[in-house]
Structure 1
Amino acid sequence: MRIAIKSSKRYRRYWQEIPFYQLKWQQRLSVQKNDAIVSNARLTERQQGILDLLVAGFRNKEIAEKIFVSERTVKNELTQIYNQFGVSSRSEAVAFAFKYGLVNE
C-alpha cells in the first residue's frame, strides 16, 4: 500500500512504502486512544446541553441566548469540550459525539 507524503517546502509528492501490518497497528492505536478519551469524557450538564445545541446546528450566539449565558461562556465551554474529545473544530466535535453515541439523533 502506498501513501503520498506532500513536501511542504516545494509541494512535490514523495512516495513512501508502508507495510500493511504497520497501518493496522496504527489504526488500533488510534482506536484505543479514542476509546480512552470517551471513557474519560465526563461532560457537565451545561456542556452536554451545549453539545446537543451544537449538534442541532446552532451558532455560539444562539446557544448563549437559549441557555441564558454570555457568548464568551459558550466559547469557553466549547473549548473544554474540544479538549476532552481531543478535537479542534465544531465539525470534529459533532462527528465525535455521533460516533461514540454522546448525543441523541
Structure 2
Amino acid sequence: MNQDNFDTWINAIKEHINMLDNLINDRRMLKDMIETHLREFFDYDDIEYNRDFSKITLTFKPKHHVIINPENLVGLLMDFEVIPAYDDNAERIIQIHVYPLGMEEVME
C-alpha cells in the first residue's frame, strides 16, 4: 500500500467511526422515544429490543402485579400480547411483547 492509499484508508476509518457514532446515537434516541411512550402505559422492570424494533419485550419481575386497564391503552397505538414466562431462577414472570410495526410485520 502506498502513502496515498494508506491516507485514504485512514480517512475511510475515521468516516466509518463517525457514521457508527451517528448510528449509535440515533438508536439511543429511538429507544428513548419509545421508552418514554411505553412508560405512559406500562410499569415494566426491563426492556429489550430486537434488531429492527419490530418486537419490544417488557419484562416484569416476580411478584410484580401487572394490571392492565384497557381504558388507559387508547393512546398506545400498537399491538401487544401478554406472555407468562419464567426468569433465570425459574420464578414466574410476565412479559409483554409490543409490536410497534404491527404483528403482521413479525409474523411474515
Asked if these proteins are the same fold (TM beyond 0.5), I'd say no
Higher-Rg member (1/2):
2
Higher relative contact order (CA 8 A, sep 6+): 2
TM-score (norm 2): 0.31
Q: Which has the higher helix share?
A: 1
